[in-house]
Structure 1
Amino acid sequence: MPTTAPPKPLLARLNWYWIFQLAGWNGAALLSLASLSRAPLSAAIIGVSWCGAATGLLLSIAWRRLLRRRGWIAGRFAWQRIVPCLLLIALVQSLLVGASYALLQPFGPVTSWLWLPSAMVSWFGIFLLWTILYAMIIALRRASRLEAETLRLQVLAKDAELRALQAQVNPHFFFNSLNSVRALVFEDRQAAADTLDRLAALMRHALNAGRHDTVALADELGAVRAYLEIEAIRFEARLTVRFEIKSGLGATPIPPMALQTLVENAVRHGIEQQPEGGTIVLNAQRAADGVRITVANSGVLRTNSASTGLGLANARQRLQLALGPAASLSLAEHNGWVRAELFLPEPS
């Protein structure tokens, strides 16, 4: 079913150009009326005040079209072209206002042209101020659009980066799993079939995960359980796993395969490196403003492993791309345990 875009806010729907135009020129008419207050208020005085506002409005509309068509304020001000035009506009406006004085005669017949230079200076200043204000508004609007476009491009870039990171699948685990299945085929066909089912479910989760920024923690834990059950075939008694998951956390959003990456690192660079094997403990509990997940494995932190650093860097990047800068991932060793800790902030 097609959906309609939500309506824009009222302030965004208003035509601010015309609001400012009408308000500004009516304000100019009131100022003109106030400057003529030395004489008794009459229809002629009101007429010349609003005639000046009306002609000023029409000239400013034509001036705006010229500025936009010529691009004189698109970048740097083309003062060498703007100033002569403003002098011409000031002259035309002064003559039009003079014509209204001659027609309406608020102070009697116009018999002198001595008023023209001062009128031109006044109208030049008014139209110069109008031009500067209009250029400022255009610059602010352009900056706002540029910021919005930059933000849109950043979001698109982050989304593409997130999709690329989510598409990564560790080939070592896949080939090890196939080797485990091959060995089981000759020993226990049912166990081999069950392992293939788990592998298919895990691969399905990885492929589907690439379509979403986050998945539910319950789904991610299901994939992790399938992964550890497959690895348990290879390690047998050398691998012990404990899940300590508090209830009510299943709907918590988490980047796809993020927890899987941490568990895989614990197996490959912890359990696999110890002849006697070891233990992996997954703990998830509610924390202030979010959920804290810990993946701990017995052993030592191997800082010289480039692949571990890359996997953790990708996991940290996925985490912050999907959930924001408040999300975090840390790795530390303490008392014979290596702990990778995820903090998932509450959705805003």
Structure 2
Amino acid sequence: MERKRKQAGSRFMKRFICYLYEYQEGRRIRNIGFCKVESSEDGCTVSIHGKGWGMNSPKKLSLYLFWRENGKCLGVYQGELGNVSPALNYRLSYTEEDVGSKARYDRLEGIILCGENGPRYAAVWTDEAVDISRMEPAGKEEMTEEKEEQPEEPEEPNEEEPVPEENEMPDEQEEPAGVSYDVREILPEESRELEEKEPEPFYFDEEEEDSKPEIAEQECQTTCRFRCTKIQRQDLSRLIRREWQLANNSFLLHGYYNYHHLAFLQEGENLYLGVPGVYSEKERRAAQAFGFPGFVNYEEEMLDLPEGEKEDRADFGYWCRQVHQIRV
């Protein structure tokens, strides 16, 4: 019976993106990152990406899942995150057992990150502002009481249904056809699904710098102010050394794995790196948090893109940042 319930739950997986904010005195003040959430009846995975912590950058953070009940903000401790500066990239996987009960699992509203002085950052599934300053940790006694309210079943060996590890999550192509997507996703509804697996870190071989092939360039027509070049991730090695780290930028990877390319945009002596995406106010905040403050609308004169590398809509384009020097 339990196995059938798990299969049914997997058919109705929700995927969405929400934003990570810094809070001061209970008020939301600025965006510092985002979370990718995959939730079903059987478990939830939250990929947390944050940077730009501001003054008094934390050395470690305590992670809580939270919900609101009777006017209170209650949190369930999930562990301590170390080495969070200058950037945080962490994946949390949890089930009903990790939070105490199914009733509690269904009420969860987001995550809270606490520093030495209490709650400081939060991501809410609905993207609304929540007063996290009064969060109360849910103790073991409360979890025990809530569990006792549920009818207990005889314990059985856990061999058939182990708690899924991160690397056991199914690949995109193996998902059932009934997966649904939340409207809060920053990409348009008709766009491709978010990549399931986190990409491996990318490093350049210094000995091969000078042997890299020339990038095939597609120049703009006279109606376009940019001279544009479609590139792949490995072509970032043509930038100066300090900008090689962009190859592992979370926002860049998000666009690259959805549209399968990046772009160099040349305007006079200025060179910009472009990440394909669709403009919206939410995505603008995420792009800015990860160092891509500008946006340029796509024009057909820029690049000849096949159907799988663009969106047929007016707000498709490139999130941009200036880069310095290109290896030729």
TM range (shorter): under 0.3
Which protein has the bigger strand share?
2
Structure with larger RCO (C-alpha < 8 A, sep 6+): 2
Which protein has the bigger helix share?
1
TM-score (normalizing by structure 2): 0.25
